[in-house]
Structure 1
Amino acid sequence: MAARYSLAQALKTVRKARGLSQEAFSDVSSRTYMSTLERDLKSPTINKLAELCEVMEVHPLTLLTLAYAGDSTQDADKLLAQVRRQLEAVLKERDAP
């Protein structure tokens, strides 16, 4: 499944939906860095993504789901069902003798 939004779009969407300015992330990031992320000039590490999501009070998977499913809750449901199936399969394979 291709991403319907970029991570940059998803980040900006959630930030704005939460009513946060780029400056609100000053404890974890500079405004300049936030701008480069939102313009898709850089990609955050997973640790930085977690920090940004903490400021926005959303789970990182929420941000990634938005990036992949866009604003369609039906597509988000399908995506999350796929993730659950794959996670169960991986854990089952890991535990197999």
Structure 2
Amino acid sequence: MTTAKPSLPEALRRIRKARGLSQEAFSDVSSRTHLNSLERGLKSPTLSKLGELCEVMRVHPLTLLTLAYAEDNTHHADELLAQVRQELDGLSE
């Protein structure tokens, strides 16, 4: 089990900026104030809201969550994804 401290706010901000999106670009799904609160870690999004935000950024929600847990480490991201695959396989038996 992974023990990394996730950073959803940082991952959200990184992807938004990598996609060249301003906070205003999310106006159809979230106010700029709300998005700012999410990026500062003052609020936590619901799964539904997370999906909407990821749709605007054109990434799968698992990409955002993987980045949040990977701590900027590609090797760690690979390990996390392998762990998820193994756990999913174990659930289908």
State the TM-score, normalizing by the size of structure 2: 0.95
Q: CA deviation at 1:3?
A: 3.6
User: Aligned partners of 1:70, 1:51: CA distance in 2, in Å?
Assistant: 23
RMSD of aligned C-alpha atoms? 1.0
Aligned equivalents of 2:4, 2:42: Cα separation in 1: 17
Counterparts of 2:40 and 2:3 in 1: how far apart (Å)?
19
Which residues in structure 2 correspond to 1:14-33 (within 5 Å)? Answer: 14-33=15-34
Deviations 1:52-82 (A, max 9, x none): 0000000000000000012211111000000
Give the gaps of 5 or more residues in structure 1. Answer: 93-97
Point out where structure 2 has 5 or more consecutive residues left out of the alignment.
Answer: none
* CA–CA separation in structure 2 for the residues paired with 1:75 and 1:91: 25
For 1:3 and 1:19, the matched residues in 2 are separated by 28
Q: Does 1:64 align with 2:65?
A: yes
Percent identity for Structure 1 against Structure 2: 67
**When the two structures are aligned, how many residues end up with a matched partner?**
92
Quote the residue 2:35 is aligned against: 34
Larger radius of gyration: 1
Report the TM-score when normalising by structure 1: 0.91
The separation in 2 between residues aligned to 1:79 and 1:61, in whole angstroms, is: 11
Deviation at 1:5, TM superposition (A): 4.5
String of CA shifts for 1:28-75, please: whole Å, max 9, x gaps. Answer: 000000000000000000000000000000000000000001221111
